[in-house]
Amino acid sequence: MTDMSNSPIGKPLQRREDYRFLTGAGQYTDDVVLPGQTFGYFLRSPHAHARIKSIDTSKAAKAAGVVQIFTGADLAEAKVGGLPCGWLIHSKDGSPMKEPPHPVLAQGKVRHVGDQVALIVAETALQAKDAAELIEVDYEELPAVIEITTADKSASAVHDDVPNNVCYDWGHGNKDAVDAAFKQAAKVSTLEFVNNRLIPNAMEPRAANAQYTKHDDSYTLYVANQNPHVERLLMSAFVLGLPESKVRVIAPDVGGGFGSKIFLYAEETALVWASKRVNRPIKWTAERSESFLTDAHGRDHHTKVELAMDAKGNFLAMRVDTIANMGAYLSTFASSVPTILYATLLAGQYKTPAIYCNVKAVFTTTAPVDAYRGAGRPEATYVVERIVEQAARDMKMDPAALRRQNFITEFPYATPVGLTYDIGNYAAHLDKAIQLADVAGFPARKAASAAKGKLRGLGYSCYIEACGLAPSNIAGALGARAGLFEAGEVRVHPTGTVTVFTGSHSHGQGHETTFAQVVAAKLGIPVASVEIVHGDTGRVPFGMGTYGSRSLSVGGTAIVKAVDKIIAKGKKIAAHLLEATDTDIEFDNGEFKVKGTDKKVPFGSVALTAYVPHNYPLDKLEPGLNENAFYDPTNFTYPSGTYVCEVEVDPDTGKTRVERFTAVDDFGNIVNPMIVSGQVHGGLAQGLGQAMLEACVYDPESGQLLTGTYMDYTMPRADDLPNFTVDHTVTPCTHNPLGVKGCGEAGAIGSPPAFMNALTDALGVKDLAMPATAERVWRAAHKNA
Amino acid sequence: MYTFDYQRPSSASAAASAFQGDTRYLAGGQSLVQAMKLRLSSSERLVDLGGVAELKGICMEGSNVVIGAMTTHAAVAASADVKKAVPALADLAGGIGDQMVRNMGTIGGSIANADPAACYPAGIVGLGATINTNQRTIAGDSFFTGLYETALKPGELIVSVSFPSVAKAAYIKYKQPASRFALVGVFVAQTSAGVRVAVTGAAGSVFRCKPIEDALAKSFTPEAAKAVKVSADGLNSDLHGSAAYRAAMISVMASRAVAAALAR
Amino acid sequence: MSVPITLTVNGKAVTANVDPRTLLVQLIREQLQLTGTHVGCDTAQCGACTVHLNGRAVKSCSMLAVQAQGAEVTTIEGLAKAGELHPMQAAFRECHGLQCGFCTPGMVMSAVNLLKDKPNASETEIREGLEGNICRCTGYHNIVKSIQLCQSGKVGNTGVAV
């Protein structure tokens, strides 16, 4: 048996990527400067909605240092396509969603403040910016469309061919069963709330540097992106009409993504196209205020939810009605986020037999809205965990007891919203969380707070999510226009070290360390002997990238399958070296051994032999030791957990402090517990940021972004957050060899309802809008006083 | 930013001479460089005071502590003289911005900028300080005249600020959670001339809150301050706090400042 | 206009002629090609650009290069000595105080200043002291732990390899 105590799996190994980050030797896209570099600047619309009557670039073209200026007309003349959306959703009436054109540079109209109108290329960034001020654009302003609840009744159409601003009107689940169940219900709980719009704000602003190479008519694009192969495919095949083989996309070190760097954006597309026209590399880095206006935003739902129960509190049915914001244009994943990634999670951890969800998606004159950490699952979890907490209050039952009573306990479990949970044990993490959070001690802590004039509350969130995107055939049936497999190539070198080329991308997740742990464990070689390469379509065969907490479960499994092929071939080589038959060879702890004997040969010798094939079965086996694998998962994975939040409110100011936050997650097996806990911490910070601090606000009249800098958009700082108590339970995933479920998004998914449940408990109110700003809390506290 | 002519004099008199026409003085740059980067501020000439050593430093003149205009917030916060003479001012300086801002930002730069949510204006009005320029002295009560407006004449150079010694004083601010400036900041002091209550962040400029001063003159207690209902008229209203909320916070912050002052 | 400046960066003398509009961070990143110092915002709030000026943490995006005339500047590249990590850098690695690494140089430079001014900073003081540094990845939990480990003097490995 393998000696697991020495295995790197499960060890909190320090990260190999840290040395370069800590010493300033990381290479982020803005760090790249190419010979002959020019700089790009985008002129952007100051209006939320306007027709472009004319653009005069003549003065700007003569400005110092200007190389060339491009507008939408130039791209239209060159027949450049629009940016595509990757998920086709159908409305209830069977009609396909509306897909208005998404031009790279505005054509005819601008549809949100910040919509790009022209690209100025100049010798320096400053010269490009100065020249932009000389461009004269004649706008005819149109009314903005901002409110999502009234967008479908607005007289103003964001897109001329979508007069009612409705992208789709989609339904999921069994409406008749739900209606029947509600008629029988002993008790119905209801809530109506907004899932507040957020701006991802990765600390590295988006950036790109595009270079055309004349001698082979090819392009190289450096871009801060989470999925270089997807970026290349969308840009070359769907927009620019270039052969993929002529475009190399390199996503070097990337400073955070959280979804915002998945999508194909106008900026890098325009740069690639323009780089051939000016025949020099063009570099662009977003200013932060530019990022605020143009990075895809997240969330932005208005939802009404009803939960029907019998007299004992068993859930009978749930009905959900949501309006979701698409923004001005459909971004790459946008249509899937409030549908496939949302409604399918409305069972939560519960046995609710009948569920129906209606989602109307609307266009507004705001930045496009797309996936942001959790992508649909935070929205779903907020719906389920707020209504379940409300149900407990309405039934006057303990919120943990009501949940426990309704837990799914038998697996696999096919939910009424289309997913089959393979495995789980929800009571286990509920019990552990209750103990770690010292729920029993809460009444005493509450009394102590009251003695100081403060309010104290406690709230639960029992979340489940579906990640490890995704089985391609299921995704396709649900409207995906792509496959969601992953690819990995394992190259063993003659000296016995290994390079792994993975289609996953690390922008903070530590794959250079964790993937090396996985490979080293399987091959029985030191972790330091394994190098992980990612982020370059010129070196990595293929990949669908990193999002949806899929890297280890899907990317890691592809690598494991490639390693399995390596071991299988290695056994054949070893059999030859050991003069045995293939089937007599076993591989364990880095050694190939003849079963039942002590005849063995180490991995390193087999590697060398593969490349110096003198004592080698050349008649039956090719030399070399290099394998790749593509892996398409058979199901989503289903991390779940229990979060308990405890808050203290100062009623004099409304300031709320998170006093304790306990997170117990079931991520299946864990490869590196330190990195996993780090992912949870980061997710919790973003979820608590949503609940307490962050709000993206557009002026309802003018459509101007009122929260356009860190002066007004409240980012969580260290003193806004407590230490977190993080622990785990384990039910290994049943359908991948590592037994892993993914952990990158759970924190952001489970925490907002835990916080709001705790806050409404402290205040004794039914509901409060997110973010729970001090004034909102103060008003609620005083209304009750 | 837009282009400018740059000068770096080494004396205050050279600095004043260099101020010709459309000119701005550059102190720590924590506000001005930002405004220039965003193209919200521009001038033909920039006179950098960073090389004028005579404008830096803290000393005692009798019972007054005199702070040079180019003294950083960090230096004020760490100064033994300030901590002894008027500890509330050291606390105020130690809470401005973040540690990086405090290592560059200066008292002269801050008050010349007169941001409506800056902390120093509350300290100056709350203590009845005196601004010493290269032309005259200006009473703190007369210095701040409006939104980003002061009594300074074009080219007039702040040399130092004199603060009286005051033991029972404190500054408490409620931070706007995004910018971390004062949403409402209240400086309370029991000076030899009576109680002063100065409020920043709540309106277009720092102001003295007479109703709270009157209440505290009768009874210098946290309860007396908290009981005052401050009018919301003329107060700022934005995403982070309505005028009504700010009005309520003035009383709350004032009462906490009184408690802190009494605890010294 | 071109202004001559002389300063010391990571112990090396630097002379340059700069457009006075040049920010210190631009001098560092573009002219000196020290790209470890990062630009993360345009309102001087994120702290990713933090360097040391005469031993004190400052935001290099908030000052003109000309304001650094005659000064000693230390960037993240100047913290480790001969391949040995500064204890703060090593502590961040040991405690997983970084994920994407973008805020990290500024965070480390800021943390070094924090402990220099307040060697016995409490957890609250550490969290408040980091007000000028925004991180989107870590939730600050491990950043605080990293600083506390450095504070304790018990940092383990300061070498290149893990």
Record: contact A717-C134, CB cut-off 8 A: yes
**Buried-state track A319-338, b at ≥16 Cβ within 10 A, e below 16:** bbbbbbbbbbbbbbbbbbbb
Inter-chain CB pairs, B–C, below 8 Å: 87
SS3 A628: strand
Low-confidence stretches of chain C (pLDDT < 70) are none
- What confidence tens digit (pLDDT) does each residue in A550-592 have? 999 999 999 999 999 999 999 999 999 999 999 999 999 999 9
- To the nearest whole angstrom, how far is the Cα of A226 from the nearest Cα of chain B? 28
- To the nearest whole angstrom, how far is the Cα of C44 from the nearest Cα of chain A? 9
- What confidence tens digit (pLDDT) does each residue in B156-211 have? 999 999 999 999 999 999 999 999 999 999 999 999 999 999 999 999 999 999 99
Task: Return the H-helix or E-strand segment holding C2.
Answer: none
Q: Determine contact: C105 vs chain A, CB below 8 A.
A: yes
- To the nearest whole angstrom, how far is the Cα of B51 from the nearest Cα of chain A? 28
Which of C124, C126, C137 is the mutation pick for testing A, counting most A CBs within 10 A? Answer: C137
SS3 A377: helix
Record: contact C45-B38, CB cut-off 8 A: no
The chain B residue lying nearest A707, using CA atoms, is: B239
Record: contact B179-A693, CB cut-off 8 A: no
- What confidence tens digit (pLDDT) does each residue in A579-636 have? 999 999 999 999 999 999 999 999 999 999 999 999 999 999 999 999 999 999 999 9
Q: DSSP class of residue A315?
A: E
Cβ atoms of residues A548 and A468 within 8 Å: yes
The predicted pLDDT at position A785 comes to: 55
Burial class of residue A35 in the structure, from the number of CB atoms within 10 Å of its CB (0-12 exposed, 13-18 middle, 19+ buried): exposed
- In the numeric block, the tokens 């045995």 are attached to A580
Q: Determine contact: A711 vs chain B, CB below 8 A.
A: yes
Instruction: Write the CB contacts of A443 (distance below 8 Å, at least 6 apart in sequence).
Output: none
Instruction: Write the CB contacts of A365 (distance below 8 Å, at least 6 apart in sequence).
Output: A48, A49, A111, A112, A144, A145, A146, A156, A158, A328, A703
When pLDDT is cut at 50, 70 and 90, the band that residue B234 belongs to is very high
| Nearest CB neighbour to C136, from listed A19, A201, A718 | A201
Which of C30, C31, C74, C136 is the mutation pick for testing A, counting most A CBs within 10 A? Answer: C136
Q: ipTM score here?
A: 0.98
| Nearest CB neighbour to B103, from listed C23, C56, C133 | C56
Q: Determine contact: C98 vs chain A, CB below 8 A.
A: yes
| Nearest CB neighbour to A775, from listed B179, B242, B252 | B242
| Nearest CB neighbour to B50, from listed C3, C67, C132 | C67
Percent share of chain A, pLDDT over 70: 99
CA distance B83 to B78: 8
CA distances from A195 to A100, A303, A756 (A): 26, 8, 12
The predicted pLDDT at position C1 comes to: 87
- In the numeric block, the tokens 């190999």 are attached to A16
CA distance B76 to B93: 6
| Nearest CB neighbour to C63, from listed B4, B29, B179 | B29
CA distances from A144 to A139, A169, B8 (A): 14, 22, 49
Q: Which long-range contacts (CB under 8 A, 24 or more apart) does C15-21 make?
A: C16/C65, C18/C65, C18/C66, C19/B3, C20/B4, C20/B5, C20/B6, C20/B46, C20/C64, C20/C66, C21/A126, C21/B1, C21/B2, C21/B3, C21/B4, C21/B36, C21/C64
The predicted pLDDT at position A783 comes to: 83
Record: contact C63-B104, CB cut-off 8 A: yes
- What confidence tens digit (pLDDT) does each residue in B52-88 have? 999 999 999 999 999 999 999 999 999 999 999 999 9
Task: Return the H-helix or E-strand segment holding C47.
Answer: none
Q: Determine contact: C125 vs chain B, CB below 8 A.
A: no
Token duo for residue C106: 């500024």
CA distance B157 to B16: 7
Q: Extract the runs of DSSP E, i.e. beta strands, from A703-759.
A: 725-729
Burial class of residue C140 in the structure, from the number of CB atoms within 10 Å of its CB (0-12 exposed, 13-18 middle, 19+ buried): buried
Q: Extract the runs of DSSP E, i.e. beta strands, from A697-762.
A: 725-729
Q: Determine contact: A778 vs chain B, CB below 8 A.
A: yes
The predicted pLDDT at position A784 comes to: 63
Task: Return the H-helix or E-strand segment holding A422.
Answer: none
> In chain A, which among 649-688 make CB contacts under 8 A with chain B?
652-653, 655
The chain B residue lying nearest C19, using CA atoms, is: B3
The chain B residue lying nearest C127, using CA atoms, is: B98
Cβ atoms of residues A496 and A526 within 8 Å: no
- To the nearest whole angstrom, how far is the Cα of B256 from the nearest Cα of chain C? 20
**Mean pLDDT, range A250-257, rounded to an integer:** 98
- What confidence tens digit (pLDDT) does each residue in A127-167 have? 999 999 999 999 999 999 999 999 999 999 999 999 999 99
Nearest to A636 by CA among A550, A543, A546, A746: A550
> In chain C, which among 2-41 make CB contacts under 8 A with chain B?
3, 19-21, 23
The predicted pLDDT at position A6 comes to: 81
Count other C-beta atoms under 10 Å from residue A144's C-beta: 26
Record: contact A712-B252, CB cut-off 8 A: no
- To the nearest whole angstrom, how far is the Cα of B179 from the nearest Cα of chain C? 8
Chain B positions in Cβ-Cβ contact with residue A773 (cut-off 8 Å) = 177, 240
- To the nearest whole angstrom, how far is the Cα of A200 from the nearest Cα of chain C? 9
| Nearest CB neighbour to C104, from listed A22, A31, A710 | A22
- Tally of helices (H runs) and strands (E runs) in chain C: 5, 5
Record: contact B99-C44, CB cut-off 8 A: no
| Nearest CB neighbour to C139, from listed A28, A285, A681 | A681
Inter-chain CB pairs, A–B, below 8 Å: 39
Count other C-beta atoms under 10 Å from residue A517's C-beta: 22
Cβ atoms of residues A749 and A381 within 8 Å: yes
Chain C positions in Cβ-Cβ contact with residue A30 (cut-off 8 Å) = 35, 39
Query: Chains with ≥3 Cβ pairs under 8 A against A?
Result: B, C
| Nearest CB neighbour to C58, from listed B2, B4, B104 | B104
Which of B239, B242, B249, B250 is the mutation pick for testing A, counting most A CBs within 10 A? Answer: B239
Instruction: Write the CB contacts of B234 (distance below 8 Å, at least 6 apart in sequence).
Output: B203, B204, B243
Record: contact C43-B34, CB cut-off 8 A: yes
**Mean pLDDT, range A396-418, rounded to an integer:** 98
Q: Which long-range contacts (CB under 8 A, 24 or more apart) does B201-204 make?
A: B201/B116, B201/B117, B201/B173, B201/B174, B201/B176, B201/B236, B201/B246, B202/B235, B202/B236, B202/B246, B202/B247, B202/B249, B202/B250, B203/B116, B203/B234, B203/B235, B203/B236, B204/B116, B204/B146, B204/B147, B204/B234, B204/B236
- To the nearest whole angstrom, how far is the Cα of C95 from the nearest Cα of chain B? 24
Q: DSSP of C65-100, one letter per residue? A: GGGGTT-EEE-GGGTSBTTBPPHHHHHHHHTT--SS
* Vertex A140: Cα angle to A138 and A141 (nearest 5): 125
Q: Which long-range contacts (CB under 8 A, 24 or more apart) does A567-570 make?
A: A567/A522, A567/A523, A569/A610, A569/A621, A569/A625, A569/A627, A570/A603, A570/A606, A570/A607, A570/A610, A570/A625
Chain B positions in Cβ-Cβ contact with residue C45 (cut-off 8 Å) = 179-180
Count other C-beta atoms under 10 Å from residue C124's C-beta: 9
The predicted pLDDT at position A4 comes to: 60
Which of B240, B250, B251 is the mutation pick for testing A, counting most A CBs within 10 A? Answer: B240
- What confidence tens digit (pLDDT) does each residue in A743-764 have? 999 999 999 999 999 999 999 9
Sign for the pseudo-dihedral over CA of B86, B90, B93, B95: negative
> In chain C, which among 12-41 make CB contacts under 8 A with chain A?
21, 29, 34-41
- pLDDT at position A1 over 50: no
Q: Determine contact: A17 vs chain C, CB below 8 A.
A: yes
- What confidence tens digit (pLDDT) does each residue in A65-92 have? 999 999 999 999 999 999 999 999 999 9
Q: How many CA atoms lie within 13 A of C97 on its CB side?
A: 27
| Nearest CB neighbour to C57, from listed B8, B46, B103 | B103
- To the nearest whole angstrom, how far is the Cα of A17 from the nearest Cα of chain C? 9
When pLDDT is cut at 50, 70 and 90, the band that residue A3 belongs to is low
Mean of per-residue pLDDT scores for chain A: 97
Record: contact A773-B177, CB cut-off 8 A: yes
Token duo for residue A582: 């293939």
Instruction: Write the CB contacts of A629 (distance below 8 Å, at least 6 apart in sequence).
Output: A487, A488, A489, A558, A559, A561, A562, A564, A565
pTM of the model: 0.98
Query: Chains with ≥3 Cβ pairs under 8 A against B?
Result: A, C
Q: DSSP class of residue B125?
A: H
| Nearest CB neighbour to A22, from listed C89, C141, C157 | C89
